[in-house]
Structure 1
Amino acid sequence: MTAAVQTDPVVRTPYGDVRGRYEDGIAVFRGIPYAAPPFGPRRFRPPVPPEPWDGVRDAGSFGPTPPKPPYSEAFEKYLSDPVVPGDDCLNLNVWTPEPGPAARLPVMVWLHGGALTRGSSAVPVYDGATFARDGVVLVSVNYRLGVEGYGLFPDAPANPGLRDQLAALQWVHESIAAFGGDPDRITLFGQSAGAISIGALLAAPQAQGLIRRAVLQSGPPEAFERDKVRRMVRRMATRLKVPATAAAFAEVDRDLLLRVQGDVGRLSSPVLGGPSFGIVVDGDLVPRDPLEALTAGDAASGVDLMMGWTSEEYRLWLVPGGLLERVDRLGAVALAGAMARCHCGTEVPRGYRTLHPEAGTADIVGQIVTDHLLRVPLHRLADAHTGSSYVYEFAWPSNLPGLGACHALELGFVFDTGDVPESRKLAGEGGPQHLADAMHSAWVRFATDGDPGWQPWDDTHPVRIFDAAPPRTAYGPRDAELALWTTAPTPEPQPVPAMAPTPTPPSRTTELRSVVRRLRLPGSVRRQ
């Protein structure tokens, strides 16, 4: 007998019909526009709906990716970032096991990371087929990046990239039933810059009622200092020899704008900070700092939360290019830089050294910065939502030398895409499938009914540990380090740490600045 041939699935959206493809029994729709191309008169402006189309629009391949500079050579060996040319870059993708309004399946909406300057929904690690295989409708989103999405100008609204994400979320809420999803069971999940974006959306008045659950992976709710973002724009304007206005930047060749953005962005660092692109308080979509809003009870009422980190986030910042060894060699200067970056006194690095006497300087600096920027605020968020929050730590070390349990390593396990080459660029060969099974199923369970399979956050601080062993719950595994931040006094201007064996010559400060300039990071706990 001849097997029945599945015809391509067709679904109606608010702007026209789209034709997807069946791939191994999963209906996949790629490149669906949720907003009009953000160029021409719409450049640096909030998104507007796309033009409706007649007939059936083909949705068989990924849509254009937003403009972005490439990763540096040091990071390209670990991270993939495909480019799809074209202007219609405000698009999304849907994987569904059962198109049609009768299914009412849980929905997960993915916001990628990449420092708000890189990344896209076309990265193969983010393939949604495994979630659809397990009964979830998966949506992945493209949004404006870098100066196009997060430049701060006097003549344009702030946060257009975040406004893109809100428009996509509204599209999902209005349209996903036709794809088999339940608009009342939308879980927003993202990593690094995607998680930071989720924090802002959870606190945004315009997003209330659109999100049932949220997962923040390696990114805290936060708003950047407006002056940091302004300085990024001003530095670009100086290089371009144009005014620091949206009107002037809109006249600049797009490729030139990306080259200058990439060059200026090399001076940013998660260790010492510096100007960078980020979400800012704008009095509208972001009326106040998202972490303050979420911990004060002003937002996210009734939203289940899951959040976590990797054990050694900082190794993705420092291992490429051999920078881990260079920071170790800098010793006291690197520690002083971390103290200045995190606004802490000598008590904090002394405490870390006492808790981890075997650790090198780079590991101490990395953990200090990670805790300050990521774990402390996520602990605050969990404390404000006890009983409806779940916390995890990803602790499996990469099979590649030096990376350890670094930033972004968990993604191939969450998506259960460890077999694609792009996942192996970070994990190496032979990542444990049982770990992917455990993490992926926890994310599916959380999206389905709000319970990932372990104890919710309470005053015992339960943290689910994912590593080579079967998943287990540890109680307060980071409490000793995080307590240093609550007991340390407000510092005066920072001296070199007392633990330093000898005073450090001024030339090593110059060397540290050189290291920072060479980082060329794809992002940080704050920005990726």
Structure 2
Amino acid sequence: MITSTTVDTRHGAVRGAVAGGVLTFKGIPYAAPPVGPNRFRPPQPVEPWAGIRDATNFGPTAPKAPYTPPLNALIHEVDIPGDDYLNLNVYTPDTSARLPVMVWIHGGAFVNGSGSAYEATAFARDGVVAVTINYRLGADGFLYHPGNANRGLLDQIAALEWVRDNIAVFGGDPDQVTVFGESAGAMSVGALLTMPKASGLFQRAILQSGALHHAISPASAELVKARLAAKLGTDDFAAVPVSELVVAQQQLRAEVSANPDPAMWGEVATTMIPFSPVIDGDTIPGGYFNSDVDILVGSNADEFRLYLVPTGLMDHVTDELLIANARRFGLDPDQVRSVYQGTPGEKLAQLMTDLHFRVPAIRLAETAKTAYMYEFAWQAGTFGGKLGACHAAEIPFVFDVLEDNPFEALLGTDLPQHLADSMHAAWVSFATNGNPGWFKYDTGNRSTMRFDFTSEVVLDPRPAERALWEGIR
């Protein structure tokens, strides 16, 4: 019985593992370690190695602090120390084939997460070469310096270039690449669609709970940098120990949430993500959009409940707080009260879901030449049924990992396998032939596949809520 296999990449040979008909190669470097003189530089080339590199275990992950409670107990994380963390993992059923490729970009608000937290075996099982990547996070990846922006996105481009140059020896077709991601990963995909340097590196894109909405201006990025420097007592960020810097990053995000003052944070007062892509005029020039890429985009019905229900905050939202947030985002408070349903907390959850996730997805679908829209609506039974279809709830269904679900603490154990079957199959179908199995989205029908215990196509779901946001960024 074969338990390992070796493949020759452009930088050297790697030995992977074989199990259940799937070949896995883990921790393969796609760029040099981003430490020392490389720390705040764009990704640098990998040094070739002699002999056979072991690729049977995950490599290091980007430095990060834990999620803040209670999310630290609900969201699966993987932390592996080491400098060589610009690496990726490949899952393939056949190194001699020429199969469609899917490249996963993880989420985590650009300060958390890793590609190693996602088990992509089911994609390989179903005829796709799957790749999961790590990239620089927080200040190392996204702190703005004029002429040196978006290093985390440039890491992602370097990983996609590695795929272009090497994936054929793993059985993948470099001309049939789908890049997909969730949350900050989806926002990354949205940013890649606006980056000329990414042109030609992927032909299809899937954006789960994130789109083009969270990129910020250099002016806002400078405000974030100044606040971080004040917190650390220095603007020599390279001299700050990584362990201290990652904690300061999380504290900064908490400060934004506690006091979202535009005078202090600029656009980050709305996006709530201090370390995010910057429209710098170079790596992201502004005004460019790659309309040749086919898009599958969507959101979850109750995204923002992840941040309001486990914390207990949703039950304490007042009508005054709801009104204040409506005005902060330019909405008519009376319309918000009448259009959204439920308690003030439930209305605020839906308002914030629309602001951060649903409306950006709709606007991206309206921009793209070819787009398919979905909504994930299955309701988790945890937290007394209040959690709903919250942020990240679709991930175990997309990856078809219900038997060994890394989101069990969040979603529980009673998850419908038939929903995973249909959702996972739609993602594979889109990556394989460009069609997930329903009608394209356009402003005439607004065709949306609603994934639920019983899934169906819905035309223009919740038009009154969508209309609230017309003319508002």
Please report the TM-score for the alignment, with normalisation by the length of structure 2.
Answer: 0.93
CA drift of 1:270 comes to 10
Task: Measure, in 1, the Cα distance between the counterparts of 2:256 and 2:322.
Answer: 16
Is the CA contact (8 Å cut-off) linking 2:209 and 2:361 kept in structure 1?
Answer: no
Task: Measure, in 1, the Cα distance between the counterparts of 2:453 and 2:331.
Answer: 36
**CA displacement 1:472-493 (0-9 Å, x = unmatched):** 10000032211122278x9xxx
Instruction: Tell whether 2:338 aligns with 1:354.
Output: yes
After the TM superposition, which of the residue ranges 267-276 and 432-441 deviates more from structure 2?
267-276
SS across alignment from 2:74: coil
**Aligned in 2, Cα 1:258/1:360: closer, same or farther, shift over 3 Å?**
same
Instruction: Tell whether 2:420 aligns with 1:429.
Output: no
Task: Measure, in 1, the Cα distance between the counterparts of 2:411 and 2:105.
Answer: 21
Larger Rg belongs to = 1
Is the CA contact (8 Å cut-off) linking 1:270 and 1:369 kept in structure 2?
Answer: no
Instruction: Tell whether 2:435 aligns with 1:451.
Output: yes
Counterpart of 2:67? Answer: 71
Where structure 2 has 5 or more consecutive residues not aligned to the other structure, the ranges are 261-267
SS across alignment from 2:115: coil
Instruction: Tell whether 2:116 aligns with 1:122.
Output: yes
Task: Measure, in 1, the Cα distance between the counterparts of 2:305 and 2:4.
Answer: 44
CA drift of 1:421 comes to 4.3
**Aligned in 2, Cα 1:47/1:419: closer, same or farther, shift over 3 Å?**
same
From 131, 148, 155, the equivalent of 1:157 is 148
CA drift of 1:351 comes to 2.4
Query: Aligned partner of 1:116: which letter?
Result: F
Task: Measure, in 2, the Cα distance between the counterparts of 1:410 and 1:27.
Answer: 25
Query: Aligned partner of 1:238: which letter?
Result: A
1:198-277 paired onto structure 2 within 5 Å: 198-222=189-213, 223-243=215-235, 248-269=236-257, 272=260, 274=269, 276-277=274-275
Task: Measure, in 2, the Cα distance between the counterparts of 1:448 and 1:271.
Answer: 45
SS across alignment from 2:406: helix
Counterpart of 1:508? Answer: none
Task: Measure, in 2, the Cα distance between the counterparts of 1:269 and 1:446.
Answer: 36
Task: Measure, in 1, the Cα distance between the counterparts of 2:100 and 2:322.
Answer: 46
Task: Measure, in 1, the Cα distance between the counterparts of 2:177 and 2:258.
Answer: 32
Is the CA contact (8 Å cut-off) linking 2:217 and 2:280 kept in structure 1?
Answer: no
Counterpart of 2:452? Answer: 467
Task: Measure, in 1, the Cα distance between the counterparts of 2:218 and 2:382.
Answer: 38
Task: Measure, in 1, the Cα distance between the counterparts of 2:425 and 2:408.
Answer: 21
1:280-291 paired onto structure 2 within 5 Å: 280-288=278-286
Instruction: Tell whether 2:175 aligns with 1:184.
Output: yes
Query: Aligned partner of 2:107: which letter?
Result: G
**Aligned in 2, Cα 1:271/1:122: closer, same or farther, shift over 3 Å?**
farther
**CA displacement 1:213-265 (0-9 Å, x = unmatched):** 0001100114213333322222221122112xxxx111111111122222222
Counterpart of 1:396? Answer: 378
Query: Aligned partner of 2:224: which letter?
Result: M
Is the CA contact (8 Å cut-off) linking 2:90 and 2:132 kept in structure 1?
Answer: yes
Is the CA contact (8 Å cut-off) linking 2:105 and 2:180 kept in structure 1?
Answer: yes
Instruction: Tell whether 2:2 aligns with 1:6.
Output: yes
SS across alignment from 2:70: helix
Query: Aligned partner of 2:470: which letter?
Result: T
Counterpart of 2:297? Answer: 307
From 15, 20, 38, the equivalent of 1:19 is 15
Task: Measure, in 2, the Cα distance between the counterparts of 1:191 and 1:225.
Answer: 22
CA drift of 1:19 comes to 0.3
**Aligned in 2, Cα 1:339/1:119: closer, same or farther, shift over 3 Å?**
same
**CA displacement 1:91-134 (0-9 Å, x = unmatched):** 0000000013xx110000000000000000111xx211000000
Is the CA contact (8 Å cut-off) linking 2:400 and 2:424 kept in structure 1?
Answer: yes
Query: Aligned partner of 1:285: which letter?
Result: T
**Aligned in 2, Cα 1:225/1:283: closer, same or farther, shift over 3 Å?**
closer
CA drift of 1:385 comes to 2.8
Is the CA contact (8 Å cut-off) linking 1:338 and 1:369 kept in structure 2?
Answer: no
Query: Aligned partner of 2:14: which letter?
Result: V
Counterpart of 2:265? Answer: none
Query: Aligned partner of 2:99: which letter?
Result: L
**CA displacement 1:24-56 (0-9 Å, x = unmatched):** 120000000000000100111100111100000
After the TM superposition, which of the residue ranges 330-339 and 182-191 deviates more from structure 2?
330-339
After the TM superposition, which of the residue ranges 70-79 and 427-436 deviates more from structure 2?
70-79
Counterpart of 1:482? Answer: 466
Instruction: Tell whether 2:49 aligns with 1:53.
Output: yes
Is the CA contact (8 Å cut-off) linking 1:110 and 1:188 kept in structure 2?
Answer: yes
Counterpart of 2:264? Answer: none
CA drift of 1:189 comes to 0.3
Instruction: Tell whether 2:313 aligns with 1:323.
Output: yes
Is the CA contact (8 Å cut-off) linking 1:399 and 1:429 kept in structure 2?
Answer: no
Counterpart of 2:288? Answer: 293
CA drift of 1:320 comes to 2.2
Instruction: Tell whether 2:392 aligns with 1:408.
Output: yes
**CA displacement 1:276-325 (0-9 Å, x = unmatched):** 1110012222001xxx533xxxx232x21100000000101111221111
Question: How much identity, in percent, do the aligned residues show?
Answer: 46
**CA displacement 1:124-176 (0-9 Å, x = unmatched):** xx21100000000000000000011001135x601100000000001001110
Task: Measure, in 2, the Cα distance between the counterparts of 1:116 and 1:287.
Answer: 20
Q: Indicate the RMSD between aligned Cα atoms, in angstroms.
A: 1.8
Task: Measure, in 1, the Cα distance between the counterparts of 2:368 and 2:207.
Answer: 14
**CA displacement 1:443-497 (0-9 Å, x = unmatched):** 000000001000111211110010111x210000032211122278x9xxxxxxx
Task: Measure, in 1, the Cα distance between the counterparts of 2:258 and 2:17.
Answer: 41
Is the CA contact (8 Å cut-off) linking 1:30 and 1:92 kept in structure 2?
Answer: yes
Counterpart of 1:334? Answer: 322
Query: Aligned partner of 1:463: which letter?
Result: T
From 71, 82, 85, the equivalent of 2:81 is 85
CA drift of 1:338 comes to 3.7
CA drift of 1:434 comes to 0.4
